[in-house]
Amino acid sequence: MDEVQQQTVGVSYAPCPPEEFCGRVEERDLLRTILAGAGERGQAVMISGPPGIGKSSLLTWLANEAQQHSGGLPSPVLRGEVFDLPGMIFSAFRELLRDLRRCAASGRFGALLDSEGLREAIRYADDVLEKYAAPVEPVGLLSKTGEEIIGIFAQSPEVGYDRVLQAFGELLTALGRQVSGAGQIAAVLLEDVHLAPALDRRLLRDLADDLPPGILLAFTCRADDGTGPGYATMKKEISGPGLPEISLSGMRKEEIRELAKRRFELAVDDAAAGVLETNRGDPFGLVACFNALRRRGLAPTAEKIADLLAGTPDPADLAFATFSGPPCTWANDLCVLNPPFPVPVMACMLDIEGMSVTLMMDRLQESGILRRLPGGEYAFAHPLLQEHCRATLSTDAKAALNARAAGCFERSLHRLSGRLHVLLSLACHFFHAREYAKAADLNLELGLRFHHREDYDTALLLTERAIASAERIGDGDLLAAARRQRDLVRQKAGP
Ligand SMILES: Nc1ncnc2c1ncn2[C@@H]1O[C@H](COP(=O)(O)OP(=O)(O)OP(=O)(O)O)[C@@H](O)[C@H]1O
Ligand SMILES: [Mg+2]
């Protein structure tokens, strides 16, 4: 009898909880050494590797390790995440600040963070970021959409990049002084910097170059096939100051057996682990495979595993095959959104109101497809799940969902606080909805503002969208203006 009891609730695709973390012994030893050195001299480390290899899980493990670093007394851990919406300048750094403010106010750290100098440094950094990136000046950006005038940041920021760097440098110095004085460290963790705007990457590199004692800075960076621009740039940037990189690769047989045992209570023999090691060593694929075996009531033999992998070679396909019910359909409708997903927009996308919204959020979370973020918004439990949903949409379905998303953002404007996220989302949805008249205007205007903020990558992306849109609607004046803007941005961006 090689069938095991069928279960419906699978193991989540979110980062692994530290108590279930398996393998990666050498990588963990290295991180422990780096952590131990952070008290005397600030340390930075990059965790890299292909999609689903376990970078976020290792960062979560490190967060837990850092928290317990100084024998009982909690250490502050700040965490920021970069999402896949180009142009969200310094939003991950704002998350770090929010975390620090929360830590300082919580009382959990006692006198550790109770310092006027630190409070002042937080206020200053907050103020500088607000001045640099936040919307301050009303401009009729959505005039052609018939919407009301909405806020957008001024032509040039009141403060320059140097002030942002200075403010964050002073903040880390103040934080480092507080924690190292008590023999502790503060961990500053950033997730997915391959998606970070160039300005964020520059700030990260400049800070990492000169970290004060007491600070550990760790960040994850997806390597894809080694050619992604984010990873390539990051690798070049960290090679200057000679920062260590922990590069993850597929799990080995023993690690696979440990994962099966600890997370699935499955005994996997050497032959079965060998099949997985050769074909599916990434933890995302392993979790998908064991979830599928469980769901189908199959024992984890080498033969069954080989059949399963031959039938469904794409791990995200395998993962989706174990989901069922309305959350699956909802996920499809939500996948065109750019995380973090605001709840009012999600509710509008799914056409749900009132109490049903809370119920729907609970179901989506329970299903393991979505996760709730610390700020109350949502994202897919794992980016590969969202990428998979997007890849399976037909061209027409994609356009229709983007049109719905644009409408939902317009309708929810008054309830949404993240203005930059709203504007960038609208610019993206109009374009993919083929609403080219609206897309041309908004992308051109936003492109100009990013030009003023010296984020030339985002400026170029938005301006290219404006050009494509102007071509579609045959607006010669707009097209000429957009091309002029593109040339200007290219000149500034350099070779
Ligand atoms: N060491 C580990 N032990 C147990 N489970 C793990 C381990 N590493 C990763 N996992 C599981 O594998 C899946 C993918 O891991 P994770 O999200 O950390 O990968 P990632 O490299 O951050 O992916 P991405 O590049 O898409 O961000 C998750 O379900 C996670 O729980
Ligand atoms: Mg990750």
Q: What is the pLDDT along the chain (495 residues), one digit of tens a residue?
A: 333 333 345 899 999 999 999 999 999 999 999 999 998 999 999 999 999 999 999 999 999 999 886 666 778 999 999 999 999 999 999 999 999 999 888 878 878 888 899 999 999 999 998 888 765 444 455 544 444 434 444 456 678 899 999 999 999 999 999 998 888 999 999 999 999 998 999 999 999 999 999 999 999 999 975 555 688 888 888 877 788 999 999 999 999 999 999 999 999 999 999 999 998 889 999 999 999 999 999 999 999 999 999 999 899 999 988 888 888 889 999 999 999 999 999 999 999 888 788 888 888 888 889 999 988 999 999 999 999 999 999 999 999 999 999 999 998 888 888 888 998 999 999 999 999 999 999 999 889 888 988 899 999 999 999 999 999 999 999 999 999 999 999 998 876
Three-class SS state of 313: coil
In whole angstroms, what is the distance from residue 345 CA to residue 407 CA? 9
Ligand 1 pocket, residue 285 CB under 6 Å: no
CA angle 440/442/447 to nearest 5° reads 95
Nearest residue (by CA) to ligand 1, atom 25, is: 51
Q: Which of 1, 61, 12 is nearest to 364 (CA)?
A: 12
Atom of ligand 1 nearest to the CA of 53: 21
Q: How far, in Å, is the centroid of ligand 1 from the Cα of 477?
A: 49
Q: Which two tokens stand for residue 233?
A: 């740039």
Q: Which of 236, 389, 243, 265 is nearest to 327 (CA)?
A: 389
CA 210 to chain CA centroid, nearest Å: 25
Q: Which of 230, 203, 256, 252 is nearest to 93 (CA)?
A: 203
Q: How far, in Å, is the centroid of ligand 1 from the Cα of 285?
A: 9
In whole angstroms, what is the distance from residue 51 CA to residue 55 CA? 9
Q: How far, in Å, is the centroid of ligand 1 from the Cα of 192?
A: 13
Per DSSP, which regions of 5-101 are E strands?
A: 43-49, 77-81
Beta carbons of 396 and 111 less than 8 angstroms apart: no
Beta carbons of 412 and 344 less than 8 angstroms apart: yes
Atom of ligand 1 nearest to the CA of 50: 25
Around ion ligand 2, residues with a beta carbon closer than 5 Å are: 55-56
**How many C-beta atoms surround the C-beta of residue 78 within 10 A?**
22
**How many C-beta atoms surround the C-beta of residue 473 within 10 A?**
14
Of 192, 222, 382, best ligand 1 pocket probe by most atoms within 8 Å of the beta carbon: 382
Residue range 25-247 in CATH 3.40.50.20: no
Torsion of CA 170, 173, 179, 184, to 10 degrees: 140
Q: How far, in Å, is the centroid of ligand 1 from the Cα of 171?
A: 31
Ligand 1 pocket, residue 222 CB under 6 Å: yes
Q: Which amino acid is at 282?
A: D
- Length of the chain counted residue by residue: 495
In whole angstroms, what is the distance from residue 242 CA to residue 234 CA? 12
Q: How far is CA 475 from CA 437, 440, 463, 464, in A?
A: 9, 10, 15, 15
- Domain locations in the chain? 25-247, 253-310
* Helix/strand number for the chain, H first, E second: 21, 9
